[in-house]
Amino acid sequence: MIDVEDLLDLVRNYNPKADEALIREAYAFGEAAHQGQFRKSGEPYFTHPVEVAALLTEVHMDDATIITALLHDTVEDTGVTYNKIVEKFGNEVAELVDGVTKLTNLELSSVETAQAENFRKLLMAMSKDVRVLLVKLADRLHNMRTIKSLPPEKQQKKARETMEIYAPLAGRMGMQYIREELEDLCFAILNPEARHSIMRRFLNLRNETGDLIPVIIEDIKLALEKAGVIAHVTGREKRPYSIWRKMEEKKQGFSRLSDIYAFRIITRNEQDAYAALGAVHQRWAAIPGRFKDYISQPKSNGYRSLHTTVSGRDGKRVEIQIRTREMHIVAQSGVAAHWSYRDGEKVENKFAVDPFGWLRSLTEGFETADNPEDFLEHVKLEMFQDQVFCFSPKGDVINLPRGATPIDFAYAIHTRIGDSCVGAKVDGNRVPLWTRLRNGQSVEIIRAEGQRPQPSWEDMVITGRAKSAIRRSLREDHRAAHIRLGTEIARVALEKIGKKSTDKALSTAAKTMSIGTKDDLLAKLGTTEVTGRDLCKALYPELVRDDVVRNEGDSPSVVGLKPGETHLPALCCQPLPGERIVGITVRGKGVKVHAIDCEALVNYEESPDRWVDLRWTEGSAKAEHETAIEVIMANDTGVLGRICTLIGEHHANISNIDFLDRKPDFFRIKFVLEVRDYEHLLRIQTAIEADSDIASVTRVKDPAKDKLDRVK
């Protein structure tokens, strides 16, 4: 375990003015609090907080963050209270420790909805101070380095959570070295065979070619020296996970993947950085499409660097990053550079981003997500994607994830522009809306009044902001259509009992039914969550009862039953008065009444003793016999409303509407109706079929329901 003096040496290296007495006190306090506690590996538990603190010295963090690292598990795992931390180390440290404790208690790898909601809480927990997340990232990095002592199932769970949440967060914060190590540690757990395969190929490559890194470094140094550029050059093999991801993206084998080496040139100033780029391109051929200038167009986390890929020694592709020392500090520390110290003074790095501005950029637009799943998808999309930079016609730079389309570009400017987009020009040429944008392109959005987002757009866009806006707009459009249909259903239902559908009547009904607003009620009518009968009953219950019995005479009854024998209509065919019928006895359930042409009767051919000869009595029926019809109709404005009106005009009630199939040109809809008798149903079918926008009308019978009927 790192002792307190070794830890202080790490802090003194960048901050000789650190409050050593307070750090010593925090070390002693944490060690005492965790006394007698051990990790799964058998080590004293306090080794973990000390290692977390040591990791944070690598990015030159301030005293408060180092002390928080030493104490970050005390409130959760020991008897130490928040007030005790305030008393001994002040409010700043106590707030940071409390924030880390809250993050630790979030179960981010639970089911998707809980994960989404907890991730929202994660961002809120760190919104007061991003240092909370810096401590948590160091905590997770050390836990992943020592994860082998956990059971395999827990290793899988932690690795998946780290890969989905913490690794991309580290990347978005600019702490690329933490992201790469976290990804590689997770890779070793989640896909060990793939990692071992890549490691073996690295060894084979070294055996065949030798260690190329020092040779290529020397080549780069000679090229820079010739150009008069003073710089520090380093090189490395890319991590196995980075290689594997590139193989997956490019669908290439290891032998065809040539850019597996990465080199870095650190210059004295920005002018030297561009001079170094010129020297590299003079010495080696640049690979087209692989140059990125993040100095003139920095990433949102402050990252600045020149990236190029060249064809180096023996045709090997070599990726080279070029930046100044100040830029390199931000590239290594990311958002943490805001708190970085050097020689006891807080470093004023002009490239370091404001951490609170960075947090706003991360969460910008998240409030438009209407549910936790949308929110989580938005966050993951925004964090995982690299960036491209495009220009508006006015010259404004729009940052977008790689793979973004003109629709993403439109929504990045404003939701209104996205909603009204009908086309786009890229570099002056008209392009399809699914075109993937590239760095440096100029994009002009073509708009039209009255245009609305199309369902197909959701598959074209990749930004969370665009996806959320499109989904919200589509929901609004569906709601508007449901309200229009509900308005027609309400009109027909109320006219049926001699009343008018007025705004006041609908508002009163909504209040009576505890539905909210008038439009909420109409939307529910349109989606059949509420029926026209429910509406009438809420406003005029006496008239609804009268409506049920307003047909003269008694409903026909079934003749042919034994005294005291009960009967029920069969679900499979739902026989109506006027149809020929037959009964089938069902033990303990009386007699099920079937239409004589019901296909389910074949199931009883071997049991003639169960058949009962039945018929309907004469008489005028009430509109209370349920049956169903299937209608295939044109997907045009007003067609569904006309059909509902026709049914209402025939004094039948619609008890349910079920959309069986939705196509761009036709709908297939099942209507469940309450009718008087078979003749009544035929008149309704004839009237509907007469409409020019109706393809077919058929009665729905389902023989499979006979089995369900027998079980009930």
Residue 212's closest CA among 321, 286, 316?
316
Residue with tokens 């000679």: 222
Q: Are 372 and 116 in contact (CB under 8 A)?
A: yes
Q: Where are the alpha helices (DSSP H) in 34-149?
A: 47-57, 63-71, 74-77, 82-105, 112-126, 131-145
**Alpha helices in 173-303, H assignment, sequence order:** 176-190, 192-209, 212-227, 240-250, 270-283
- The runs of H, that is alpha helices, within 239-287 are 240-250, 270-283
Q: Answer positive or negative: Cα dihedral of 320, 324, 329, 335.
A: negative
**By three-state DSSP, how is residue 494 classified?**
helix
In angstroms, the CA 494 to CA 97 distance is 63
Q: In angstroms, rounded to a whole number, what is the distance separating the alpha carbons of residues 235 and 211? A: 11
Give the residue among 326, 286, 463 at the shortest CA–CA distance from 386. Answer: 463
d(CA 413, CA 203): 49
What's the rounded Cα separation, in Å, for the pair 334 and 431?
37
With a CB cutoff of 8 Å and minimum separation 6, the contacts of 5 are none
Q: How many alpha carbons fall within 13 Å on the CB side of residue 464?
A: 25
Catalytic residue numbers, as ranges: 76-77
Query: Is residue 265 classed as helix, strand or coil in its secondary structure?
Result: strand
Cα dihedral value 274, 277, 279, 282, nearest 10: -130
Name residue, tokens 């909603």: 419
Calculate helix-pair angle for 20-33, 82-105, nearest 10 degrees.
70
As a whole number of angstroms, the longest Cα–Cα distance in the chain is: 113
